[in-house]
Structure 1
Amino acid sequence: MVLEVYHAHYQINTGGYLQKTQIMRPSIAFFDFDGTVTKKDTLFEIVRYTKGNTALYTGLLMLAPAMVLMKLKMLSNVKVKQLFLQYFFGNMPEQQFRSKCAAFCRERLPFLIREDALQAIKEHQLQGHRVAVVTASAQEWVQPWCSALGIECIATRLETVNARITGRIYGENCNGEEKVRRIEEKFSLPLYGEIYAYGDTSGDKAMLAIATHPFFRKFN
């Protein structure tokens, strides 16, 4: 069922009197990606796809000390994420990286998508709602999938220097409050009558808090 939200608008009619009219305000839906739309963390899956299982497990072994420090809260999640990206993709030509990510979106990502989450996206589209994925994953391996589906993408941006991936994050990791900041940067939320948000971790709580219809772990 389409939820129609209106706000009052007054105009002078032909008789010279103020006439109240109602204008429908659009709706928008925000979806977290990893764990909400997907069944697995796509950071590991993009490495598995591009480098293979042996390289993935070898890298995890090499990075194990950093991950232990993260568990002990002696190293931030963002720092470990950057170490991970630098280890596997640092100094890779940007065009090669983008090409591999696009292939991942075509060939592997469809098998990682939760069917009921995809159906929810399509239902929002059928109702004429604007839809956006808001994710801490890198834009390079999420944007192509979003574009193919006709939805928008807000994601973590990776730094490039001399047309090569450095493995460092450009700006802020798109998680927690940064998700809301990036949403408000792109969309004027007061224009929307109904705001839907779907997430599955504490990193989505700020985004869920701005929604009129928040859904936590709806597809899990």
Structure 2
Amino acid sequence: MKQIPEPEMHGKQVLSVFDFDGTLTRHDSFVPFLKFAFGRREFNRRVLMLAIPSIRFLARRLTRDELKARLVSTFLTGVDADWVSEQAQTFCEVFWLQLMRPSGLTSVANEIEAGSEVTLCSASPALVLRPFAERLGIKLIGTELEVVDGRLTGQIAGNNCRCENKVLRLEAVYGPLSQYRLKAWGDTRGDHELLAAAQEANWRNFHPAWRRGRLRGANGGKPSVSAVAHTTLQVAVNSDRNANTDDQQGA
């Protein structure tokens, strides 16, 4: 954790920024949300359509952002935005207890009580995370999805909110970050630029100690094409939740 001299921090508003998936939650939320919203059968049918892009990603012929764009396009093209919002609200209500890390919730509450400006800053779609931010009582910066005439086009509006784009999005909302005492919480490569910009950088604080640096072993057996695509999407689009390497990318 970086520290700066006390006089430099005196009088500055504290801006507390939390990554969502894997930081405040026990695991990714976007792929499970898609399974919840579309149902297992339709989810598996659409995941099969992503098998080839997933293989191309594993072969390093497709970038992480390109694979995520394929995921969004495959599931959300032409879908009513209000329907997605309703599904997100129900998903939040149903999965809150099993998804959220209690220690993370306590930290968010402590930052609010201390008078900090608190926000989520996530690569997951803001449309999906809005109910979580509202329940937490904090602001939200996330990946924006393009909407035309009330329907999602299947395109990301602007950039995927990860890496340097997290810092750029924060500055677009709050102005120069130098005017704040910035505190940040993250857990993947996609949070490195945000953590580097912070005076107080918190890395995987809410993870159990035994999982902070451990890479989970693969299951045995020959996986199906659907399982390969599903697993690849979980890892590639939504990041290295249990990895111990700094070069893997967050969502």
| TM-score, normalised by the number of residues in structure 2 | 0.75
Shift of 1:160: 1.4
Shift of 1:7: 6.6
2:178 paired residue among 186, 190, 198? 190
Shift of 1:83: 1.6
User: Is it true that 1:130 corresponds to 2:117 in the alignment?
Assistant: yes
**Which residues of 2 match residues 1-220 of structure 1 at below 5 A?**
24-188=11-175, 189-192=177-180, 194-220=181-207
Q: 2:11 is paired with a residue of what secondary structure?
A: strand
Q: 1:108 is paired with a residue of what secondary structure?
A: helix
| Bigger-Rg structure (1/2) | 1
Structure 2 distance, partners of 1:211, 1:169, is 27
Shift of 1:6: 5.9
What letter corresponds to residue 87 of structure 1 in structure 2? T
Gaps of 5+ in 1: 9-22
Structure 1 distance, partners of 2:18, 2:200, is 12
Farther off after superposition, 149-158 or 52-61: 52-61
Structure 1 distance, partners of 2:192, 2:183, is 13
Shift of 1:135: 0.3
What letter corresponds to residue 64 of structure 1 in structure 2? A
Structure 2 distance, partners of 1:110, 1:49, is 16
Q: 1:165-207: per-residue Cα shift (whole Å, max 9, x none)?
A: 1221001110110000001111132332x31111111110000
Structure 2 distance, partners of 1:121, 1:127, is 10
8 A contact 1:28–1:195 mirrored in 2: yes
Structure 2 distance, partners of 1:121, 1:195, is 14
Structure 2 distance, partners of 1:90, 1:80, is 15
Structure 2 distance, partners of 1:141, 1:105, is 9
Higher normalized strand content (fraction of residues): 1
Structure 2 distance, partners of 1:80, 1:159, is 17
**Root mean square deviation of aligned Cα:** 2.0
Shift of 1:110: 4.0
Report what 1:16 is aligned to: none
Equivalent pairs counted in the alignment come to 202
Shift of 1:123: 1.0
8 A contact 2:84–2:128 mirrored in 1: no
Aligned-pair identity in percent equals 29
Gaps of 5+ in 2: 1-5, 208-251
Q: 1:100-158: per-residue Cα shift (whole Å, max 9, x none)?
A: 12222222244211111111111111111111100000011112211222111000000
Structure 2 distance, partners of 1:99, 1:48, is 15
Q: 1:17-66: per-residue Cα shift (whole Å, max 9, x none)?
A: xxxxxx73221111111111111211111112111223333332321110
8 A contact 2:185–2:205 mirrored in 1: yes
Q: In the superposition, relative to structure 1, how do residues 91 and 35 fare at CA in structure 2: closer, same or farther (>3 Å)?
A: same
Structure 2 distance, partners of 1:136, 1:147, is 17
Structure 2 distance, partners of 1:60, 1:94, is 21
